[in-house]
């Protein structure tokens, strides 16, 4: 039986690397950004239905000194060139051991994006490729859709409330079924 996300969703928040674009670890070069197949079309379906679009992304390369905030910004602009306009970017520049509240799986990025969109977190759905994306959504009170990649662990797939084969299917589930 297929599960669908509530129709009360008014904002979709996406993980960046591995979800909207191919994962290039610590990418500082916008020329290396490649959208995953169907990303633009999937997000355009949501835009046509009036949903707000945001991105929630951990970028620990900043804390590690591997890239700068300006590098992240350039890559983010390239992502928008490929997938269309993003209303809110929520970026965590901290490392895994920094203890911040924004780094996924903590809810800070999701809560910040929802607040900046003027949407209660429970009216948001987070789409990501690993368990920390799903955990951040749950911790914030948002819905979650997992789109597995080779980096996704089997236990993350098992624990996800909704699993989709690709972004097209994730959007179909967000919108409540086939359209």
**CATH number, residue 56:** 3.40.50.1000
Does pTM surpass 0.85?
yes
E strand segments, the chain: 11-14, 52-58, 88-92, 124-128, 143-146
Pairing of strands 124-128, 11-14: parallel
The active-site residue out of 15, 71, 129, 133 is: 15
Which pLDDT score, from 0 to 100, does residue 4 have?
A: 46
Is 166 domain-assigned?
yes
Is 5 domain-assigned?
no
Whether residue 71 lies in the annotated active site: no
Is 73 domain-assigned?
yes
Low-confidence ranges of the chain (pLDDT < 50): 1-2, 4-7, 179
The active-site residue out of 17, 71, 129, 133 is: 17
Is 120 domain-assigned?
yes
Tell me the pLDDT tens digit for each residue of 44-88.
Answer: 999 999 999 999 999 999 999 999 999 999 999 999 999 999 999
Q: What is the residue range of 31's domain?
A: 11-174
Is 33 domain-assigned?
yes
């Amino acid at each position: 039986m297929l599960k669908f996300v509530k129709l009360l969703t008014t904002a979709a928040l996406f993980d960046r690397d591995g979800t909207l674009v191919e994962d290039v670890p610590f990418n500082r070069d916008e020329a290396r950004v490649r959208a995953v197949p169907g990303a633009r079309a999937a997000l355009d379906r949501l835009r046509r239905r009036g949903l707000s679009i945001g991105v929630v992304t951990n970028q620990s390369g900043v804390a590690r000194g591997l890239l700068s905030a300006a590098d992240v910004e350039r890559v983010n602009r390239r992502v928008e060139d490929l997938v269309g306009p993003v209303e809110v970017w929520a970026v965590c520049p901290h490392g895994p051991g920094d203890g911040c509240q924004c780094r996924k799986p903590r809810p800070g990025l999701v809560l910040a994006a929802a607040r900046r969109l003027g949407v209660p977190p429970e009216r948001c759905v987070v789409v990501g490729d690993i368990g920390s994306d799903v955990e951040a959504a749950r911790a914030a009170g948002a819905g979650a859709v997992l789109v597995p990649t080779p980096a996704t662990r089997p236990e993350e797939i098992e624990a996800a409330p909704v699993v989709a084969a690709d972004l097209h299917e994730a959007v179909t589930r967000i919108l409540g079924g086939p359209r």
